[in-house]
Structure formats: C-alpha cells, structure tokens
C-alpha cells in the first residue's frame, strides 16, 4: 500500500504515456473501461478521464471520468425540487467511473480522486451551469464510499447519488 505522503504523484488528463494495461482495481468492468474505452471516450469528447499517476513507479494509481449530463427534476427529493425552477431537465456533472488500483487501495487515494472531481466540477459550474454532481455507484461498497462524502441517493434509485454544487461550494469554503 503506497500512500500520498510517500509517493510523488500528479493528477492529470489520461495521456499516451500512461500504462493503462497495467492498471487493475479488481473490478473487471472498471479495468476494461480504462484499458479499452477511456481513450476513445476522451477523443470523442464523451467523458474526460483523469488519472492520479505515480511519477516514480510510472503507474496509474487511480482514475475517474467527468462529463456533463442532465437529470429530471422529478428524480430529485420533492423538498429540493420544489425550490428549483420548473425546467424539465437541469444540468449536472457526472462522475462516470472512479477506481483505485489494488496496489494503492486503503491509503486515501479514493478520497483524493473524489475531492479532485468535486473541485473540478465546482470550477466548471462557474462557467457552465451545473446544479449537482451525480454518480451511479457500481455496488453497495461504492454507495457507502460516496455517502462518506455527503452524496445522497435519489429517492427511488439507491445506486444513483448526487451532491448539490451549493453544498460542494460550502465544503470547500470551510476547508
């Protein structure tokens, strides 16, 4: 287990020099995405993959993707939806994938990934309006992970979670 205090790392866009094939997080779907699809999604401007990269070992520690999406107001909790304009769809940022390599698991890298994704999303929302950050968790462990960062489930979809930009902004102001 390699931690952030002992590792020379950077967070950057996925690039040709990153060894995608060596990455393994233990989830075949997330591994396959990075190995075969992430570069294509980036080229097509479907999703933008970011990696945490161990500069010394030249390994991908973890990755996430960001893209724009939209949600129906009807999907949100009623008390929240009532406060919003009656648009049928509101814009959101989507964290489509997020994974940490088995070699680095348990050392806080997932937290660093999610915080970077939230910070980038907040920055983007200042020039391209976005109401929230949305994730679709892959399993129960992922749901619990996102809930630790104040994401809440959509009322009828336990694996789809969100966090409002207002809440994200307040968190960064406090830190």
In Å, how far from its chain's centre is CA 128?
Answer: 18
Total number of domains constituting the chain: 1
Q: What is the pTM of this model?
A: 0.92
User: Domain containing 100 — which CATH number?
Assistant: 3.40.630.30
How far is it, in rounded angstroms, from Cα 130 to Cα 120? 12
Q: Tell me, yes or no, whether 47 lies in a domain.
A: yes
Q: Which domain holds residue 123?
A: 9-174
Q: Tell me, yes or no, whether 34 lies in a domain.
A: yes
Quote the pLDDT of residue 6.
Answer: 66
How far is it, in rounded angstroms, from Cα 134 to Cα 95? 6
Q: Tell me, yes or no, whether 63 lies in a domain.
A: yes
pLDDT (tens place) for every residue of the chain, 175 residues total: 555 566 789 999 999 999 999 999 999 999 999 999 999 999 999 999 999 999 999 999 999 999 999 999 888 888 888 888 888 899 999 999 999 999 999 889 999 999 999 999 999 999 999 999 999 999 999 999 999 999 999 998 889 999 999 999 998 887 6
Q: Tell me, yes or no, whether 23 lies in a domain.
A: yes
Quote the pLDDT of residue 150.
Answer: 96
Q: Tell me, yes or no, whether 3 lies in a domain.
A: no
CB atoms within 10 A of CB 122: 17
Q: Tell me, yes or no, whether 1 lies in a domain.
A: no
Q: Tell me, yes or no, whether 17 lies in a domain.
A: yes
Look at residue 25 and give its three-state secondary structure: coil
Cβ atoms 162, 118 nearer than 8 A: no
Q: Tell me, yes or no, whether 40 lies in a domain.
A: yes
């Amino acid at each position: 287990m390699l931690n952030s205090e002992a590792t020379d790392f950077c967070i950057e866009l996925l690039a040709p020099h990153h060894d995608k094939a060596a990455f393994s997080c233990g989830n075949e779907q997330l591994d396959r995405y990075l190995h075969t699809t992430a570069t294509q999604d980036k080229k097509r401007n479907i999703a933008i993959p970011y990696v945490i990269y161990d500069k010394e070992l030249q390994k991908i520690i973890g990755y996430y993707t960001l893209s724009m999406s939209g949600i129906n107001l009807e999907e949100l909790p009623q008390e929240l939806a009532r406060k919003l304009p009656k648009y049928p769809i509101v814009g959101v940022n989507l964290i489509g994938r997020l994974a940490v390599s088995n070699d680095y698991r348990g050392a806080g890298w997932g937290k660093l990934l999610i915080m970077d994704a939230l910070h980038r999303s907040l920055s983007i929302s200042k020039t391209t309006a976005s109401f929230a950050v949305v994730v679709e968790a892959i399993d129960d462990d992922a749901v619990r992970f996102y809930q630790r960062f104040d994401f809440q489930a959509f009322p009828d979809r336990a694996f789809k979670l969100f966090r409002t930009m207002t809440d994200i902004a307040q968190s960064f102001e406090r830190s």
